[in-house]
Amino acid sequence: MARNFKDLSEREILALAVSSEEEDGRVYADFAEGLRETYPATAKLFDDMGAEESGHRASLIATYRERFGEHIPLIRRQDVKGFVQRRPFWLTRPLKISEVRKQAEIMELETRQFYQKAIGQVTDAGIRKLLGDLEEVERKHQMTAEAMSVSITRTAEKTEEEAQRRLFVLQIVQPGLAGLMDGSVSTLAPVFAAAFATKSSNDAFLVGLAASIGAGISMAFAEALSDDGSLTGRGRPMLRGAVTGLMTAAGGIGHTLPFLMKDFHVAFISAVIIVAVELATIAWIRNRYMDTPLLSAAFQVVVGGVLVFAVGIWIGSS
């Protein structure tokens, strides 16, 4: 059962401070490890903060041994009422930089308040001085955490922005683009083959809808099961699968919707126009996020789209 803070003895308060500093230091070490590859400047800040927490712990242990001996009872945050229960956010991968900074600020605020409350409960002058010194350090840590986004250099900040952009491209744009290309191009053949074979807008719509949804489901599973993202940095497989599947379905449904119109010729012309817009959009995304030259991206996309479109027309007309 959790105890009230006011019921703790000076010995137990010191023991709680030791375990709290150890936990904070290990959390900061996990933050630094999780951010090192993509946000090295912020990771260095957490390395420094973790090293300071280790120094605090050593000072507390030395004071405890001097006053109470070698045995330090195990008292943790969760054993005392009033502490916020921490979600093990530091185990998440990949870590979100904004959430890490916010969590660090909360941790330092909580630790500072702990020392302020502890000072009012102990009577030993040496312990009070140590706790006061640590409270002042935690105040500076809190300020560091609050200003963490501006405490790094502009060069480091630019590097982290580029890293964040790379993660966005890797985890969202790439699977989304793969789905959009597959849906937009691969469904051209069945949709336009059905349109030319039946000269019926309704039949073409049903074929296109089935092909789009089927392709979306297939691509979603293929992407989600390809890897778990732990080694490639490609993020959560469920998210990647959802993005890929939705974009695949959207790419196919885009040029399928015109066949809801009863007039076959109007529907066909509208579908062709939408196909051109889809291919242009894919070329723009490749140029914008994948650094592919616009003309090269347009040529690659158009050639593939025209070939599949021609196959659909040929099969539907035979």
Sorted by where each begins, the domain ranges of the chain are 5-152, 168-317
pLDDT for residue 230 is more than 60: no
Predicted TM-score (pTM) of the model is 0.49
Q: What percent of the chain has pLDDT over 90?
A: 10
What is the DSSP code (8-state) at residue 173? I
pLDDT for residue 160 is more than 80: no
Q: Which residues of 24-56 are buried (b: 16+ CB within 10 A; e: fewer)?
A: bbebbbbbbebbeebbebbbebbbebbebbbeb
Q: Cα separation of 101 and 141, whole Å? A: 12
The distance of Cα 126 from the centroid of its chain, to the nearest Å, equals 45
* Confidence bin at 146 (pLDDT 50/70/90): low
pLDDT for residue 151 is more than 70: no
Q: Cα separation of 227 and 238, whole Å? A: 10
Instruction: Quote the crossing angle between the two packed helices 237-254 and 201-224, to the nearest 10°.
Output: 160
Identify the pLDDT of residue 234: 60
What is the DSSP code (8-state) at residue 171? I
Identify the pLDDT of residue 116: 86
Nearest to 278 by CA among 318, 305, 242: 305
* Confidence bin at 70 (pLDDT 50/70/90): very high
Nearest to 106 by CA among 132, 76, 83, 75: 83
Segment 145-152 shows an average pLDDT of: 57
Segment 112-125 shows an average pLDDT of: 86
Residues contacting 69, CB < 8 A, separation 6+: none
Segment 90-106 shows an average pLDDT of: 77
pLDDT digits (tens, 9 = 90+) for 178-215: 888 888 888 888 888 888 888 888 888 999 899 889 88
For the domain spanning 5-152, the CATH number is 1.20.1260.10
Residue for token digits 């949804």?
213
Residues contacting 102, CB < 8 A, separation 6+: none
Comparing 168 with 151, which gets the higher pLDDT? 168
Coil, helix or strand at residue 3 = strand
pLDDT for residue 63 is more than 80: yes
Comparing 16 with 312, which gets the higher pLDDT? 16
Comparing 128 with 95, which gets the higher pLDDT? 128
Identify the pLDDT of residue 231: 42
Residues contacting 44, CB < 8 A, separation 6+: 32
pLDDT for residue 164 is more than 70: no
